[in-house]
Amino acid sequence: MIKGLEIYISNPFLLALLHAQFVKIIGIEFLIIDEFITLGMSRKISFRNDYSEGAHPAILQLLMDTNMQQEPGYGTDHISELAKQKIKSYLQNDQADIYFISGGTQANLLVISHLLKPYESVIAADTGHIAVHETGAIENTGHKVNVVPNALGKLTVAAVESILNTHQDHHMVKPAMVYISQSTEIGSIYSKKELQDLYAYCQEKNLKLFIDGARLGVSLTAYKNDLSLADLSKLCDVFYIGATKNGGLLGEAIVFNKPDLAIDFPDALKQKGALLAKGRLIGAQFLALFTDEIFFQLAKRANQLAMRIADALIQKGYEFACPPETNQLFPVLPNPVIEDLQTHFDFFVWEKLEGNKAVCRIVTSWATTDEAVEEFLKELSKN
């Protein structure tokens, strides 16, 4: 019995021992499971990603508080409208057009397929999510992804120019969009100057600039960051704000900075199965996250915990594949150290290298506890 909820295990082969404790994150107490033993195997502390947990309690509370409230469907509810107004206050752009959808890959294919003509392509870094981790979702909409070498995960003006220089006749796809991620897939961030230069070039060459913001929260709260949501509203054509990896159950907010780009976008949403009858469920999450700056507090916490781990790794003399800037760390570790750490912690071995070592990906989240980080640092100190 947990708070009046009875849990029955019907599978005779599933035996579990649960130990629960209350932990405070951003001043709110909530229940977590700190150990779960199934079939005699202990569950490791996870630094695998930033979406292993459920949702911040403020979201769950708002969903409960509005649960029996009758609202119109398909994103026309007043909860979603309040959330949009909250976001617009940060954008300082009342003309922005905002749409709530369920996930990042969905956001990417929706925006790209909506804005590009059938013969047009999108330029991305070779580490870009649309090029590597979306099972050809963009290509499946009929658009080629022009891939260029990354510069610490980022895309440069020179790289974009190289694609334009080699696509100059009607026998090739026509590059019409530049796709970048903020933060990038390897944890780096674009500076304001880098984004200004890239957007100026895109405008000069009539290219639309689209920013994948699945991890926008950690980029905006990174110690080196000099960009705001208001800046993003001026320095690209469209971007999205990710909740899935920053305290939400699921959900991304697509922001068209210029409303003319969003003409007929609701039709695209419906056609591709992204127009939710209960759109209020995603709107409520953004309303909660953008109340009392919870969205920024959660991202800042994830970054701070990652920097504690990064500092410890630096003190041990370990190098990084990409300098630590946000909640994703990519240290280069000897294989024996990796093997020892993986007996206690779950994380990705990102790339195997010569010399009996590999690049690892260690990720902190909005819900990572101080205790989990301390355990990691304690084990690291033994190596």
Judged against a pLDDT cut of 90, whether residue 20 lies above it is answered with no
Could you read off the pLDDT of 161-192 as tens digits, one per residue?
Answer: 999 999 999 999 999 999 999 999 999 999 99
183 preceded by cis ω (within 30°)? Answer: yes
Among candidate residues 169, 171, 125, the one with its CA nearest the CA of residue 148? 125
CA atoms within 13 A on the CB side of 164: 15
Contact present, 186 and 320 (Cβ < 8 Å): no
Judged against a pLDDT cut of 60, whether residue 137 lies above it is answered with yes
Judged against a pLDDT cut of 90, whether residue 6 lies above it is answered with no
Contact present, 108 and 240 (Cβ < 8 Å): no
Mean local confidence (pLDDT), 136-150: 97
**Structure confidence at residue 27 (pLDDT):** 52
Phi, psi of 256 (to 5 degrees): -90, 115
Please report which confidence band the pLDDT of residue 36 belongs to, taking 50, 70 and 90 as the band edges.
very low
Could you read off the pLDDT of 338-367 as tens digits, one per residue?
Answer: 999 999 999 999 999 999 999 999 999 999
Mean local confidence (pLDDT), 181-208: 98
**Structure confidence at residue 32 (pLDDT):** 47
Judged against a pLDDT cut of 80, whether residue 74 lies above it is answered with yes
Residue 296 tokens read as 């920024």
**Structure confidence at residue 383 (pLDDT):** 83
Could you read off the pLDDT of 230-289 as tens digits, one per residue?
Answer: 999 999 999 999 999 999 999 999 999 999 999 999 999 999 999 999 999 999 999 999
Average pLDDT value for the chain: 91
Judged against a pLDDT cut of 70, whether residue 35 lies above it is answered with no
Q: How many CB atoms lie within 10 A of CB 280?
A: 25
Judged against a pLDDT cut of 50, whether residue 150 lies above it is answered with yes
Judged against a pLDDT cut of 50, whether residue 211 lies above it is answered with yes
Mean local confidence (pLDDT), 28-55: 68
Mean local confidence (pLDDT), 288-308: 98
Could you read off the pLDDT of 82-128 as tens digits, one per residue?
Answer: 999 999 999 999 999 999 999 999 999 999 999 999 999 999 999 99
Judged against a pLDDT cut of 90, whether residue 30 lies above it is answered with no
Q: Report pTM.
A: 0.90
In order of start, what are the domains of the chain with their CATH numbers?
1-43 (no CATH), 60-289 (3.40.640.10)
Could you read off the pLDDT of 302-344 as tens digits, one per residue?
Answer: 999 999 999 999 999 999 999 999 999 999 999 999 999 999 9
3-state secondary structure the chain: CECCECCCCCCCCCCEEEEEEEEEECCEEEEEEEEEEECCEECCEECCCCCCCCCCHHHHHHHHHCCCCCCCCCCCCHHHHHHHHHHHHHHCCCCCEEEEECCHHHHHHHHHHHHCCCCEEEEEECCCHHHHCCCCHHHHCCCCEEEECCECCECCHHHHHHHHHCCCCCCCCEEEEEEEECCCCCCCCCCHHHHHHHHHHHHHCCCEEEEECCCHHHHHCCCCCCCCHHHHCCCCCEEEEECCCCCCCCCEEEEECCHHHHCCHHHHHHHCCCCCCCCHHHHHHHHHHCCCCHHHHHHHHHHHHHHHHHHHHHHCCCEECCCCCCCEECEEEEHHHHHHHCCCEECEEEEEECCCEEEEEEECCCCCCHHHHHHHHHHHCCC
